[in-house]
Amino acid sequence: MSVVSEQAQTPLQPGAPRPPAADLDVSSSEEVASRGRILGARIMANRLGIIGIVWLVLMVSVALFADFFAPYTVDYVHEEALRAPPQRVHIFRDGRLTRPFVYGFKSERDTRTFLTTYTEDKELVYPIYFFVEAEPYKLWGLITSNTRLFGVEEGGMVALFGTGRLGRDVFSRVLTATRISLSVPIIGMLISVILGSSIGVASGYWGGVADILIQRLTEVLMSFPRIPLWMALAATLPPELSSLHRYLGVTIVLALIGWAGLCRQIRGKTLALKESDFIMAGRAAGSSTPTILFRHLIPNCFSHIVVVATLSIPGLILAESSLSFLGIGITPPLVSWGTLLKDAQSVQVLTKHPWLLAPGVFMVLTVLAVNFLGDALRDALDPYSEIR
């Protein structure tokens, strides 16, 4: 082999000056925004996304501190006020600004329809106090406390969303139900994300017969109509289960059906990434399979996982509510929005007692909020979208 030594002196473009290394870093002084900051800015630029986040933060705090926010326990009964309408909060009395208060009820029974109608009794004034001492509760089963955010004096009543068939405070019940109605979907989502992404990554990365089998299984799971499938699985939970076990059972049932969609998405992403140059480069560098999977592949799927997982929550909220509404989901003494809606089954409710639909309103708002957040995340993580 010859022709070598003179080659080094023959640059590609003769005479082209080689810039010194220092000249190369043009962008060194520029402030470069980090990924997280860009992401935050993008989410914040999305108005619906913010609304969603605000509502969800509110709901999560309510769920965490339901006992504190709710003036009554779920089972507290106002014997004199069955299906009483929401009480209005007043701050003016005789034209003067006072501490907020509600009026008590004057009840009248219609002798023909046997329906009781309630009207405000201007004689009964129940001032609302904050941080009152009321029935004790155990926060998260750990801290015993009897302080509640607000309440009225013994003998009075405050029912901001009215009362139900048995005279229980709808407001307190809706707030308390938030715990179940949010935790079932969130825990179910986490289980299905763990299942779906690990099966999806493995299936996509190693391929082979297992991959084909897993894909057929997910197709079958996904082609079943959802509600009958949930019902069938939920019906297999033995009726004598305690309320808490049932809660866990329902969560697992939902997760076992929910992982399939995520699994397919993550598998597709894995297939695409597996052939990408940076994974090849990682293998050429000698990185082990765990490094390739956990440091290259999964982090690059992560934004995708987050979006898909977020957008799967509304379905789970509705699923839990449907099952509970049908009586095969959550059972008393635990309450969820679905079990509360059982009280609102008749047409009469819509005409006479619309306040019993409050749990439904919370459900719809929460589903919308999660969708807003999911869309905002998806837009923010899309590398091609502009900051608006």
Residue ranges binding another protein (CB under 8 A): 1-4, 7-8, 10-13, 16, 18-19, 21-22, 24-28, 32, 35, 276-278, 280-288, 291, 295-296, 299-300
- Closest to another protein by CB, 168 vs 296, is 296
Lookup: tokens for 242: 């305690």
3-state secondary structure of 3: coil
Shortest Cβ 197–another protein spacing (Å): 16
The answer to whether residues 44 and 50 touch, using CB atoms and an 8 Å cutoff, is yes
CA distance 312 to 299: 20
Residue type at position 367: V
Lookup: tokens for 230: 């949930």
Shortest Cβ 381–another protein spacing (Å): 12
- Closest to another protein by CB, 3 vs 143, is 3
Closest to 301 in 3D by CA, of 333, 256, 339, 262: 262
Shortest Cβ 4–another protein spacing (Å): 5
Length of the chain: 388
- Closest to another protein by CB, 143 vs 285, is 285
Residue 105 backbone dihedrals phi, psi, to 5 degrees = -105, 150
First vs last C-alpha separation in the chain: 61
- Closest to another protein by CB, 15 vs 332, is 15
Shortest Cβ 58–another protein spacing (Å): 33
Shortest Cβ 328–another protein spacing (Å): 38
- Closest to another protein by CB, 22 vs 143, is 22
- Closest to another protein by CB, 79 vs 277, is 277
Shortest Cβ 210–another protein spacing (Å): 15
At CB < 8 A and 24+ separation, what contacts does 239-242 make?
A: none
The answer to whether residues 298 and 197 touch, using CB atoms and an 8 Å cutoff, is yes
